Structure 1
Amino acid sequence: MQVANFVEMVGDSIRNNWELDALSNFKGETLSFKETGEEILKFHQLFQKLGVQQGDKIAVIGKNNINWAVTYLATTSYGAVIVPLLQDFHSNDIIHIIEHSDASLLFVSDGIYEKLGKEPLKHLKAIYSLDDLRVLHTSNCEECDFNDIKLETEITPDSFSLPQINEDTLAGILYTSGTSGFSKGVMLPHKSLAVNVEFGVKYIQLEPGMRIVSFLPLAHAYGCAFEFLATFMMGCHINFLGKVPSPQIILQAFAQIKPHLIFAVPLIIEKIYKKKIKPAISKPLPKLMLHIPLLKRVVYNKINKQVSDAFGGNFREVIIGGAAFNTEVERFFRKAGFRFTVGYGMTEFGPLISYVPWDQARLYSCGKPIPYVEVRIDSPNPRKTAGEILVRGGNMMNGYYKNEEATESTIDREGWLHTGDLGVVDKDGYIYIKGRSKNMILGASGQNIYPEEIEARLNNMPYVQESIVVEQQGKLHALIVPDQELIETEQISREKLEEEMENNQKHLNHQLPGYMSISKITLFDKEFEKTPKKSIKRYLYTVTQN
């Protein structure tokens, strides 16, 4: 199947949407598509002055903003390789990744640059501020101030052009956040970007001028491909929220901008459910109404309207991805008729593997494989018995940068990438993920236990903020971080908290088969350590507990 060329799509969108607003910093400056094109060409001049060649690596780290987006578009359309880093990485990891990636240039937010210090970065050709594009450091270039660069002639839609870049050219190296303790550099070619973007353009179908709020990290494949690249190609107006926003800030932006499509991670929806909705429906009257068929719909409709209004009231659907969605929360929002769908992907596919629109979505499923992608379940009975999800397709990575061993252990000889996720598929091709293969626990009688399924129930119980289920001496133990905010609000004593946790354990075990019952709960005073993508570093706790 022929895929459009990524750089050609960038150029076409700029020419076709010339006068429309393209990129905005929320409550700040705005660039039109024409101005974005001008900035890209100025970047290309800068790269030439610095002696940047096609294939050279350019690292970028900082908050979502216009300069981050233009740096990305300019780098990839020049034929250089973008290396986006999550700003939550520790300083030592950032320095290591910059060195490992062989980056020669760095674009970085001022605050992060101050933390890193000049000494570990002095080998770079140049460093620029993502805040205002001023020079922070150059090794040997007197005329390399971006803000002094001017285009020689006025550009028009007819005269604007970008270099021709082959689809097999390396576009980016994305470093995973590493729940197993180390990062790997995922090499994505231009074709991977094109497959993801073209899918978004064909199947999501937004109109030029429609509004998007970008709050997911642009250094993460999901936020970059869909909040930014796909919507840019459709002529949308993208509003960057900047620093990692709280749910309150996000909802304020939704109310003001009224986005036409929303991309989200489960955590945001789950917080709204746990902090706002669940307490409301636990009150006597709503609780009673939810058990009366004729009145149940009244409650669901009211909540659906309230949540939809909180999201700006103007969106076609909310696309949820980036992590597993809590089953209780998903079930509630499905019953309420909320317009959302859950997709599945991973960095190694840049990221999309499966998706369906909200009106075709099925409970607990993450949709069907997108065009260009094949999915196989490594199981003798893929519809009933979970097996590892194997994927291959046009958007698959080239491999891990300078790590052939990891590449060979992930991609087999037939070209299937072993995801490490366990799942089943129904007769219509819908994928249902059960958990991670490395997290699976073998029960005493040989049953497969997926701790994520138990944790999903536990995390919605009173005073539980987050949990991990581990095996200890043949029994299941729950490690729990209590909800300190709620405990302080309700002034709960330690003794009372332990009582509540005992009740949680009883209620949970009542809902589960015997082989999945929890034998012990251990409370943790601090939040579990997480990756920059906010996944719990399970290995730190499973090793400790066994």
Structure 2
Amino acid sequence: MYKLASLTLRDVLVQSTASYAERPALGTVDGSTVVHYKDLGPLAAVLVKSLLSQGLAKGDRVVLLSENRPEWGVAYLGITAAGLVVVPILTDFNPEQITNIVKHSEARVVVVSERLRAKLGDYSGATIAVESLASAENRAAAVSIDTRASFPPVAEDSLAAILYTSGTTGNSKGVMLSHKNLISNVIATRSIIRMHRLDRLLSILPLAHTYECTLGFLNGVTQGSSNWYLDKPPVASVLLPALKKIKPTIMLSVPLIIEKIYRASVLPKLQKMGAYQKESLRPILHRVAGLKLKKTFGGHLRFFGIGGSSVAPDVEAFLLQAHFPYAIGYGLTETAPLLAGSPPFSTVLRSTGPALKGVELRIADPKPDTGEGEIQARGPNVMQGYYKDPAKTAEVFTKDGWFRTGDLGIFDAKSRLFIRGRLKTMILGASGENIYPEEIEALINKSAYVAESLVLSEGSGLTAMVQLKQEVIDDLKAKAKDSIEDFERASEEVLEFVRKEVNQGLAAFSKVSKVILHHEPFEKTPTQKIKRFLYSLTSHKHEVSDKPEGVDPK
């Protein structure tokens, strides 16, 4: 990696264009669109020329609404390198949310894909088609452009991006990230991942989320790697051929993806082996399964980053024994995003690892008996604040300038961080015990019958909303033979079995007293965390509470 004169996206664009000229920077898996580094700066300059011709000046906001594609990166780098402010919008947002963001950010122009244009609703302002940014016409216009001359220097502390989070506690907030916030985090992540020119990153997470944007896109562009994008959602039929073709060395994921692979594919195959019933043989079998899993991912994977939420304990234990090159990270949109992390083969079970270089972490008001408290952070990657919301900004910073993450954690003797849960979701037991619903959910989700779950406390005791796996539902319906009563009775038996099974592994104060059948998948954030604030117990039926011992539905 080259040495940056200043921590700005402008310097990244200028230097990467020159330093890695002949290497592919951004491309589609099918090869229909490929942008080489030598074209990255000039194509970005063509976009900026169009924006400036419409009267935009430094500091003006430009919305970027597009699915993952090479042109997304051209737009992002061009907008920010010119001193304008990019407002990437998550594609899962509905038209009303998008309209609100466009208005709240006071965006002058929207760069949008044809696929998502309808989501702009009645927006009547200026638009630029994202598909045009790497078109033959734009490539012809870019031939004679001098990237360095096209982008005057910008200040490190100038605003680069406003990210509107979907959040898990209600309304979106516009997180303001400066050039220094973003690039300092790119540099800090080199303690857990060092990319190089021959690395190939296959993107399966939304670029509009800072996790994929900073750790994947910006990290790759800064270090000369190639970023490849799918033109469809990463379902198995799309992802498997892409893995075979690209043979990625780097991938970023959220826990849900690897958990589904393990529970739907890896674990069932292991359980069919007679040798797997012997505990002493499991480490060897896990190692063999890990080699096969790596082969499934193309055979060249050296870094599989997992972030966004906690990975289930049983899945992480498998990855560790399997010698799979997974890495764990912890961060938030407000911290651009990474605060702590461990590289592959240095992970410690259930820990996110130590703070990144240049980042300070502390535990505020730790409990004397456990050492647990709120994780607070300070560093060059911490946001400037929430856009046009000084009150909310003040709420999340302490008087001495530390950012309140809202997460609970502890450090071990080697300063490795362990996340316990969200401060707002922690449940206080009858005798003052701290109950972390995320830990109970991880235990529930290990069940062979459960797809996902959500633990709530309303009134006395804990209640778990459980979505059963589709094959379990289908089996119950087949046995019920169109009888609603028989289906309800059978599903109650399954839920009761799950409740008793889970409670065997829980302390008395955190046992689940009720289980509720949740029929549809839970609504999630882009990093696949359940939007807890949307759910309560008032509208649900199929409750199962303490009864005589149920039968094993197996």
TM, length-normalised to structure 2: 0.90
Residue among 368, 373, 380 paired with 2:354: 368
Deviations 1:364-387 (A, max 9, x none): 001111112111111335893321
Partner of 2:109: 105
2:12·2:222 contact (CA, 8 Å) conserved in 1?
yes
Rounded Cα–Cα distance in structure 2 between residues aligned with 1:18 and 1:336: 38
Q: 1:215–1:242: 8 Å Cα contact kept in structure 2?
A: no
Partner residue, 2:10: 7
Query: Which amino acid in 2 is paired with 1:11?
Result: V
2:320 matched to which residue of 1? 334
- Which residue type is aligned with residue 325 of structure 2? R
Cα shift readout 1:200-221 (whole Å, capped 9, x = no counterpart): 4565222213211112100000
Letter in 2 for 1:478: A
Tell me the distance in 2 between the aligned counterparts of 1:326 and 1:380: 25
What are the superposed Cα offsets for residues 179-208 of structure 1, whole Å, 9 maximum, x if unpaired? Answer: 222100000000011112222456522221
- Verify: 1:132 aligned to 2:143, yes or no: no
**Partner residue in 1 for 2:84:** 80
Q: Distance in 1 between matches of 2:138 and 2:291?
A: 51
* Alignment-derived partner of residue 530 in structure 1: 524
Which residue of 2 is the match for residue 140 of structure 1? none
- Equivalences for 1:170-189 in 2 at 5 Å? 170-189=159-178
Q: Which amino acid aligns with 2:38?
A: K
Between the aligned partners of 2:296 and 2:330, the Cα distance in structure 1 is: 25
**Residue 511 (structure 2) pairs with residue 517 (structure 1):** yes
Identify which of 290, 314, 330 aligns with 1:344.
330
Supply the distance in 2 between the matched residues of 1:401 and 1:205 (Cα, whole angstroms). 33
How far does residue 162 in structure 1 lie from its aligned partner after superposition? 3.0
SS in structure 2 of the partner of residue 511 of structure 1: coil
SS at match of 1:414: coil
CA distance in 1, matches of 2:331, 2:142: 43
**Residues 250-329 of structure 1 correspond to what in structure 2 (within 5 A)?**
250-283=239-272, 285-289=274-278, 291=279, 293=280, 295-329=281-315
Match of 2:502 in 1: 508
CA distance in 1, matches of 2:338, 2:526: 20
Partner of 1:70: 74
Q: CA-to-partner distance for each residue in 1:241-276, whole Å, 9 max, x for gaps?
A: 134322442333222111111211111100001101
CA distance in 2, matches of 1:511, 1:84: 43
Q: Is the 8 A contact 1:63 1:244 kept in 2?
A: no
Q: Is contact 1:85–1:175 with CA below 8 Å preserved after alignment?
A: yes
Which residue number in structure 1 is paired with residue 44 of structure 2?
40
Aligned residue number for residue 450 of structure 1: 436
Q: What residue identity is the alignment partner of 1:6?
A: L
- For these two proteins, the number of residue pairs brought into alignment is 528
CA distance in 2 between counterparts of 1:529 and 1:43 reads: 36
Structure 1 residue 34, shift from structure 2 partner? 1.0
CA deviation vs aligned residue, 1:15-36 (integer Å, no higher than 9, x gap): 0111111110120221111111
TM-superposed deviation, 1:441: 0.7
Go from structure 1 to structure 2 and tell me whether the alpha carbon gap of 1:410 and 1:308 turns closer, same or farther (over 3 Å shift): same
C-alpha distance 202-515 of structure 1, shift in aligned 2 (>3 A): closer
Q: 2:377 aligns with which of 370, 382, 391?
A: 391
Separation in 1, partners of 2:141, 2:468: 57
Deviations 1:67-106 (A, max 9, x none): 1110000001000000000000011000000000110110
User: Secondary structure at the residue paired with 2:155?
Assistant: coil
Aligned counterparts of 2:283 and 2:405: Cα–Cα separation in 1? 40
CA deviation profile, 1:300-348 (whole Å, cap 9, x unmatched): 1221111111111112121111122111111121122211121001000
Q: CA–CA distance in 2 between the matches of 1:249 and 1:265?
A: 18
1:501, 1:521 within 8 Å by CA — same for their partners in 2?
yes
Paired AA for residue 14 in structure 1: T
Structure 2 CA distance for aligned equivalents of residues 485 and 79 of structure 1: 52
**Structure 1 pair 339–485 and aligned structure 2 pair: CA distance change class (3 A):** same
1:222, 1:497 → 2: CA distance? 38
Find the residue that maps to 1:239 and give its secondary structure.
Answer: strand
Name whichever of 486-495 and 22-31 sits farther off: 486-495
User: Which residue, 235, 239, 245 being the options, matches 2:234?
Assistant: 245
Q: Shift of residue 4 of structure 1?
A: 3.6
Change (3 A) 1:113 1:322: same
* CA distance in structure 2 between the aligned counterparts of 1:193 and 1:390, rounded to whole angstroms: 19
SS at match of 1:343: strand
The structural deviation recorded for 1:151 is 4.1
Shift of the alpha carbon at 1:454?
0.4
| Matching residue of 2:123 | 121
Mark the runs of 5 or more structure 1 residues left unpaired by the alignment: 135-144
1:16 aligns with 2:19: yes
* CA 385–110 in structure 1, closer or farther in 2 if over 3 Å, else same: same
Q: Equivalences for 1:476-491 in 2 at 5 Å?
A: 476-488=462-474, 491=478
Output the CA distance in 2 between the equivalents of 1:12 and 1:152. 17
Counterpart for residue 418 of structure 1: 404
- RMSD of aligned alpha carbons: 2.4
1:286 deviates by 4.0
Which of residues 527, 534, 537 in structure 2 aligns to 1:540?
534
Matched, 1:92 2:96: yes
Alpha carbons of structure 1 residues 380 and 36: separation in structure 2 relative to 1, 3 Å: closer
Partners of 1:538 and 1:153 in 2: CA distance: 50
Whole-Å Cα distance in 1 between the matches of residues 205 and 479 of structure 2?
Answer: 34
Structure 1 residues 364 and 478, CA gap change in structure 2 (3 angstroms): same
User: Which residue identity lines up with residue 514 of structure 1 in the other structure?
Assistant: A
Per-residue CA distance 1:32-87 (angstroms, 9 max, x = gap)? 11111220121121122111100000001121001111000000100000000000
The aligned counterpart of 2:549 is: none
CA distance in structure 2 between the aligned counterparts of 1:268 and 1:415, rounded to whole angstroms = 36
Q: Are the structure 2 counterparts of residues 43 and 323 from structure 1 closer, same or farther at C-alpha, using a change threshold of 3 Å?
A: same
**Unaligned ranges ≥5, structure 2:** 481-486, 541-554
Correspondences of 1:210-225 after superposition (within 5 Å): 210-225=199-214
